[in-house]
A and B are shown apart, each in its own frame.
Chain A
Amino acid sequence: MQKATIQLETLTCPSCVQKIEKATKSLVGVDKESVKVLFTSSKVKFDFDAEKISVGDVEKAITALGYVVLKSQVKDK
């Protein structure tokens, strides 16, 4: 399992959080329990299985919703 933090452009509506959370959780390889979308700091944090999915894939899913990804960080857990 690896731990990722994705920094997004400022989030303004709480329903954004809902959307991003749902989209991220629906991806195979992402640990559903670990997904946390921080509204105030506009960050998405989650654990994932590097053999099933890459951070790039998650970024793509979030970009597809219309949110701009600023940077992401991956750490071994």
Chain B
Amino acid sequence: MSVLQRFILSKKKHITLISAILIVFGFISGLGFQNETVAIWSLAIASILGIAPIAIQAYQALKVRVVSIDVLVTIAVTGAFLLQNFEESAIVTFLFLFGAFLEQRTLNKTRSAIKELTEMAPESALKQMDNGEFEEVLVDDVDVGDILLVKTGAKVPVDGTVLSGEGHINEASITGESVPVGKKKDSGVYAGTILENGTLQVVADRVGEDTTFGRIIELVEEAQDSKSEAERFIDRFSKYYTPAVLGLAIITWLFSRDIELAITLLVLGCPGALVIGVPVSNVAGIGNGARHGVLLKGSEVIGDFSRVDTIVFDKTGTLTIGNPEVADKEFYADNVGEVLAYLASVEKESDHPLARAIIGYIGDTTLCRVERTDVVKGAGIVAYIDGRRVAVGNVTLMERENVHLPEKARADIVRFEKNGNSLVLTSVDGELKALMGIRDQIRPGVKEDLQKLKKLGVKNLVVLSGDNQGTVDLVARELGLTEAHGHMLPGDKSRYIEELKIKGHIVAFVGDGVNDSPSLALAQIGIAMGSGTDVAIETSDVVLMNSDFSRLPHALGLTKATAANMHQNIVIAVGVVLVLLASVFLSEWMNMSIAMLVHEASILVVILNGMRLLRYQL
């Protein structure tokens, strides 16, 4: 491209302004002072100035064999100019340029949500050089293994591990949660998070686009550009549409010999609003999600999720916090302290979630030396302490150990199970000493969130869990779910989802992505409760940042609003083209300038309509 061409393109805004002034001047001298010559000259100059950048763009497009809107407008304006209809040629070029200017401004607004996100990306880092000093370098120059210094108020430049120092970090950019998290030696830190106090030395584990933050940005960027079936159709359509309009104009001219009509058709056939309407809704919707801790991976996901009728939940870690605690307890011994000491000593050997809950409950106690431990799979642990045989586990283990369960204990067991507990029994030398009921807390606010989902039109809310049916039923009753299934292994869960799909339901699966990735992948919409971790982000279609369940209703409401917005925009765009086409043949008042005005206005209307999504709140 020549220097002149580039100069003209870079001065588009000035050209628009000058041609506006010339047009006003022309009309005043023409209508106000009856000075035709001045009017014609100023309008002609406005036309030539205005068409220059458009013609350059058209020429560049033709060079790579694309018939773009610029081509249509250039031909139309040239035609009007040759017919000495300077009024029309001037106004059409001005409207086209001015419209493009407004489009750019408003489009930038719809992209602002993502921009805020990318602007949180770190730009520089203090890197330890060979001489041991820290020097400021660009973040691109940091490699894995480099040692970096992070000072108070600075952004962590990489995903890394703390070498030394202490401090509190605001991880809002990753988790959406702005409560500062304490960091010390060996803690993991994430790029894009902010050190609120303290100083840290960090070794870089992942840099640039490989960091969690980098991947989130890349994901959102690609999501905004991913195309749904409908959009791909529009793309194909518009690829042939513009040449078709050109063809139609030529045919019209050949048959009617009416050049005026032919060039009007060219302007009117510009596909602007149609091409831009759907992506704009998409970008604004995904942008709103990113701001509210909901990652939507593309417009396909929006379409599917907005029509969901069945949501299947994993229990642990999704409906519940995933951090079981001792909720009920009974002792059948006089020396409770000794029993607890034994229990804690045995459970210390295990990293089972139930064991951790028990240790958390007992707290500090004098630990005994455990002599031998045998793990009985699916039942519990048998160990020797001070020569005594201590068994810790479920009812099956007690039966195996021939432990006698007194009448009261049996009644307690039934009661505990009814309350939704998992049971841990302790026996010493074949005698039952303690019974503990451990239960996972339901996440606060889940009930209200599920109600909101129902209001948004979800018919079936199903919970699947590996726990016993009693526990699952209890959760389902408490939360008002429609169905509950216990004793489910990961394989059973995905089979269940498969069946729902065969029955014609549109299924979303909500899980933490740890052991339910098959279900996440199988459901039409996989929703991960991600706390900024890798697996969940990769395999799912929607990610709720920081595992915040309350974002689920917002996510559903947002996809519904976005899908509706896309439909509105398609209707507006198609409607405008149809009305224009009809009026060009049926009415007297239609001309090139009005066609261009309506056309540009419709583009702005669809963009503004899309922008409403940025402010969407459930």
Measured CB to CB, the residues of A under 8 A from B are 10, 12-15, 18-19, 22-23, 26, 36, 38-41, 43, 63-66, 73, 75
Candidates A15, A36, A41, A73; contact of B140 at CB < 8 Å: A73
The answer, yes or no, to whether B60 is at the interface (CB within 8 Å) is yes
Contact A10 B104 (CB under 8 A): yes
CB distance from B226 to the nearest CB of A (A): 10
CA distance A73 to B225 in the complex (A): 20
Instruction: Assess A22 versus B66: contact at CB under 8 Å? Given A13-B100, A14-B275, A73-B140.
Output: yes
Contact A41 B64 (CB under 8 A): no
Candidates B5, B100, B221, B283; contact of A66 at CB < 8 Å: B5
Instruction: Assess A40 versus B64: contact at CB under 8 Å? Given A12-B104, A14-B279, A66-B57.
Output: no
Instruction: Assess A18 versus B221: contact at CB under 8 Å? Given A10-B104, A13-B100.
Output: no
CA distance A43 to B209 in the complex (A): 14
Stretch of B107-115, B190-198, B450-458 that contacts chain A: B107-115
What 1/0 flags go to B274-288 for Cβ under 8 Å of A?
011001000100000
Ranked nearest first, the 9 interchain pairs of A and B with the lowest CB-CB distance are A40-B224, A15-B68, A41-B221, A22-B64, A38-B225, A12-B104, A14-B275, A64-B1, A65-B60
The answer, yes or no, to whether B61 is at the interface (CB within 8 Å) is yes
CA distance A40 to B220 in the complex (A): 10
Contact B6 A66 (CB under 8 A): yes
Contact A38 B221 (CB under 8 A): yes
Instruction: Assess A19 versus B279: contact at CB under 8 Å? Given A38-B221, A40-B224.
Output: no
Contacts of B56 in A (CB 8 A): 66
Contacts of A15 in B (CB 8 A): 61, 66, 68-70, 275
CA distance A18 to B221 in the complex (A): 18
The answer, yes or no, to whether B327 is at the interface (CB within 8 Å) is no
Name, among B64, B65, B66, B111, the residue most crowded by chain A CB atoms within 10 Å (CB to CB).
B64
The answer, yes or no, to whether B9 is at the interface (CB within 8 Å) is yes
Name, among B68, B235, B283, the residue most crowded by chain A CB atoms within 10 Å (CB to CB).
B68
The answer, yes or no, to whether B477 is at the interface (CB within 8 Å) is no
CA distance A23 to B69 in the complex (A): 18
Contacts of B68 in A (CB 8 A): 13, 15, 18-19
CB distance from A43 to the nearest CB of B (A): 7
Closest to A42 in B: B111
Contact A66 B64 (CB under 8 A): no
Contacts of B225 in A (CB 8 A): 36, 38-41
Contact A23 B107 (CB under 8 A): no
For the complex with contacts A15-B275, A41-B224, 6 further pairs of A-B residues with Cβ separation under 8 Å are A26-B64, A39-B279, A40-B225, A41-B118, A43-B221, A75-B209
CA distance A64 to B350 in the complex (A): 66
CA distance A65 to B235 in the complex (A): 21
- Interface size, chain B (Cβ < 8 Å): 35
What are 24 of the A-B contact pairs (CB < 8 Å)? A10-B108, A12-B104, A13-B69, A13-B276, A14-B276, A15-B66, A15-B68, A15-B70, A15-B275, A18-B68, A19-B66, A22-B66, A38-B221, A38-B224, A38-B225, A39-B279, A40-B111, A40-B114, A41-B114, A64-B1, A66-B5, A66-B9, A66-B56, A66-B57
CA distance A15 to B276 in the complex (A): 10
Contacts of A66 in B (CB 8 A): 1, 5-6, 9, 56-57, 60
Contacts of B104 in A (CB 8 A): 10, 12
Q: Which of B89-115 contact A (CB under 8 A)?
A: 100, 103-104, 107-108, 111, 114
The answer, yes or no, to whether B239 is at the interface (CB within 8 Å) is yes
CA distance A39 to B278 in the complex (A): 13
Contacts of A19 in B (CB 8 A): 60-61, 64, 66, 68
CA distance A7 to B20 in the complex (A): 33
What 1/0 flags go to B1-45 for Cβ under 8 Å of A?
100011001000000000000000000000000000000000000
CA distance A25 to B5 in the complex (A): 24
The answer, yes or no, to whether B141 is at the interface (CB within 8 Å) is no
CA distance A75 to B68 in the complex (A): 33
Name, among A10, A14, A15, A75, the residue most crowded by chain B CB atoms within 10 Å (CB to CB).
A15
Candidates A40, A63, A75; contact of B1 at CB < 8 Å: A63
CA distance A22 to B238 in the complex (A): 16
CB distance from A70 to the nearest CB of B (A): 13
The answer, yes or no, to whether B222 is at the interface (CB within 8 Å) is yes
Candidates B1, B57, B66; contact of A18 at CB < 8 Å: B66
Contacts of A75 in B (CB 8 A): 209
CB distance from B81 to the nearest CB of A (A): 23
CB distance from B271 to the nearest CB of A (A): 9
Contact B65 A22 (CB under 8 A): yes
CB distance from A45 to the nearest CB of B (A): 9
Instruction: Assess A65 versus B1: contact at CB under 8 Å? Given A12-B104, A40-B114, A73-B140.
Output: yes
CA distance A3 to B11 in the complex (A): 34
CA distance A63 to B222 in the complex (A): 23
CA distance A65 to B221 in the complex (A): 24
CB distance from A23 to the nearest CB of B (A): 5
Closest to B235 in A: A14
Q: Which of B176-227 contact A (CB under 8 A)?
A: 209, 221-222, 224-225
Candidates A10, A65, A73; contact of B107 at CB < 8 Å: A10
CB distance from A57 to the nearest CB of B (A): 15
CA distance A38 to B219 in the complex (A): 12
CA distance A54 to B60 in the complex (A): 23
Contact A40 B100 (CB under 8 A): no
CA distance A26 to B63 in the complex (A): 12
Contact A12 B9 (CB under 8 A): no
Contact B64 A65 (CB under 8 A): yes
Instruction: Assess A40 versus B221: contact at CB under 8 Å? Given A12-B107, A66-B5.
Output: yes
